[in-house]
Structure 1
Amino acid sequence: MKRFLVLLSGLLSIVTLGSPSATAQGRIVVETLHSSALQGNRIGDTPDRKITIHLPASYDRDPARRYPVVYLLHGATSDPKEWLDGTYQGMDLGADLDRLAAEYIVVMPMADNRFGGSFYVNSTAFGRWEDFVAKELVRFIDTRFRTLPARQSRGLAGQSMGGFGALYLAGRHPETFGHVYAMSPCCLGFVGDLAMESGRWRQEPRGWLRAMAAAFAPGNGREPSIESPPLPFVAASDGRMREVAVVARAWRNYLPLNRLMRDPSPYRRLCSISLDAGLQDEIPSVTLGATAFSRELGRAGIAHTFVAFTGTHTDHTRERFEASVLPFFARVLAAQDPNKGSGLLLFPSRCE
Structure 2
Amino acid sequence: MTRLLALLLCLMAQCAPAFAAQGRIVVETLRLQALEGNRIGDTAERRVTIYLPASYDRDPARRYPVVYLLHGATSDPREWLDGTYQGMDLRVALDAVADDAAYIVVMPMADNALGGSFYVDSAAFGRWEQAIAGELVAFVDARFRTLPTRESRGLAGQSMGGFGALALAGRHPDTFGHVYATSPCCLGLVGDLAPGGARWRQAPGGLLRAMAMAFAPADADADAATPPLPFVAGPDGRVREVPAVAQAWRAHMPLEGLRRDPAPYRRLCSIALDAGLQDEIPNVTAGAAAFSQALQQAGVAHAYEAFAGTHIDHLRQRFETAVLPFFARVLATPARPGACAGG
TM-score with structure 1 length normalisation? 0.90
Deviation by residue 1:149-177 (Cα, 9 ceiling, x = unmatched)? 00000000000000000000000000000
Deviation at 1:223, TM superposition (A): 2.9
Deviation at 1:199, TM superposition (A): 1.4
Aligned to 2:296: 298
- Is 2:132 the counterpart of 1:140? no
Gaps of 5+ in 2: 1-16
In the alignment, is the contact (CA less than 8 A) between 2:149 and 2:335 conserved in 1? no
Structure 1 segment 1-352 matched on structure 2, within 5 A: 21-101=18-98, 102-220=101-219, 222-337=220-335, 348-351=340-343
Determine the C-alpha separation between the residues in 1 that align with 2:237 and 2:156: 40
Deviation at 1:123, TM superposition (A): 0.3
Deviation by residue 1:134-193 (Cα, 9 ceiling, x = unmatched)? 000000000000000000000000000000000000000000000000010000111111
| Paired residue type of 1:320 | R
CA gap of 1:308–1:22, structure 2 versus 1, over 3 A, is farther
| Paired residue type of 2:239 | M
Determine the C-alpha separation between the residues in 2 that align with 1:335 and 1:260: 26
SS in 1 for 2:35: coil
Determine the C-alpha separation between the residues in 2 that align with 1:141 and 1:75: 21
Deviation at 1:279, TM superposition (A): 0.3
| Paired residue type of 2:166 | L
SS in 1 for 2:199: helix
Deviation at 1:22, TM superposition (A): 4.6
| Paired residue type of 1:166 | A
Gaps of 5+ in 1: 1-19, 339-344
In the alignment, is the contact (CA less than 8 A) between 2:66 and 2:146 conserved in 1? yes
Deviation at 1:200, TM superposition (A): 1.4
- Give the fraction of aligned pairs with identical amino acids, expressed as a percent: 71
Deviation at 1:40, TM superposition (A): 1.0
SS in 1 for 2:167: helix
CA gap of 1:214–1:104, structure 2 versus 1, over 3 A, is same
Q: Aligned pair count?
A: 324
SS in 1 for 2:331: helix
Deviation at 1:228, TM superposition (A): 1.4
Determine the C-alpha separation between the residues in 1 that align with 2:321 and 2:334: 21
Q: Rg: which structure is higher?
A: 2
In the alignment, is the contact (CA less than 8 A) between 1:34 and 1:49 conserved in 2? yes
Determine the C-alpha separation between the residues in 2 that align with 1:298 and 1:134: 26
CA gap of 1:349–1:321, structure 2 versus 1, over 3 A, is closer
| Paired residue type of 1:147 | T
Determine the C-alpha separation between the residues in 2 that align with 1:236 and 1:112: 33
Determine the C-alpha separation between the residues in 1 that align with 2:19 and 2:280: 38
Determine the C-alpha separation between the residues in 2 that align with 1:336 and 1:44: 43
In the alignment, is the contact (CA less than 8 A) between 2:114 and 2:209 conserved in 1? yes
Question: Which is worse superposed, 329-338 or 202-211?
Answer: 329-338
TM-score with structure 2 length normalisation? 0.92
In the alignment, is the contact (CA less than 8 A) between 1:30 and 1:53 conserved in 2? yes
In the alignment, is the contact (CA less than 8 A) between 1:119 and 1:164 conserved in 2? yes
Aligned to 2:6: none
Report the aligned-residue RMSD. Answer: 1.3
Determine the C-alpha separation between the residues in 2 that align with 1:139 and 1:257: 28
